[in-house]
Amino acid sequence: MSSPAYQPDNIFAKILRGEMPCYKVFEDDVALAFMDIMPRGEGHTLVIPKTPARGLLDMPADALGPYMQRVQTVAAAAKAAMKADGLTIQQFNETAGGQVVFHLHFHILPRWDGVALKPPGTMGDKAALEANAARIRAAL
């Protein structure tokens, strides 16, 4: 069973078009990385492809490799910038899989030993989001 069609009015498509703001970490012709405004931890970053894809299974195979290289690059920078002990990298597909925004994206979550993730749904502090974005940009 195939997934529903990509909807170009999703929030991440609007961010890509510049219709919505973001705390930008990285951008090139393949991907955009920005801070999650409801972070589950310090340095929680999202990496989205510029190719319109609803989820991982919808991403054209020839675009997946270059996109994953950007995910890896941003993940390494987030880990270094935040002086994290490790990373949690999450990607959800469709409602049953936990996806909320239907544009392919990876969550990069720096992690520290003994520090739990925050529950979802709390807006982050704007100054902290910008400061963390600047730290990760500097590590790229």
- For residue 40, what is the domain's CATH number? 3.30.428.10
Looking at the domain assignment, is residue 52 inside a domain? Answer: yes
Looking at the domain assignment, is residue 73 inside a domain? Answer: yes
Looking at the domain assignment, is residue 120 inside a domain? Answer: no
CB half-sphere exposure, 81, CA atoms < 13 A = 24
Looking at the domain assignment, is residue 131 inside a domain? Answer: yes
Looking at the domain assignment, is residue 67 inside a domain? Answer: yes
Structural domain range at position 106: 11-114+126-139
Looking at the domain assignment, is residue 121 inside a domain? Answer: no
The residues annotated with a catalytic role in the active site are 105
Looking at the domain assignment, is residue 4 inside a domain? Answer: no
Query: Total domain count for the chain?
Result: 1
Q: Which pLDDT value is given to residue 2? A: 63
CA distance 39 to 46: 10
CA distance 124 to 50: 25
This prediction has a pTM of 0.97
Residues in the chain predicted with pLDDT less than 50, given as ranges, are none
Q: Which pLDDT value is given to residue 1? A: 55
Check residue 123 and give left, alpha or beta (phi > 0: left; psi -120 to 50: alpha). beta
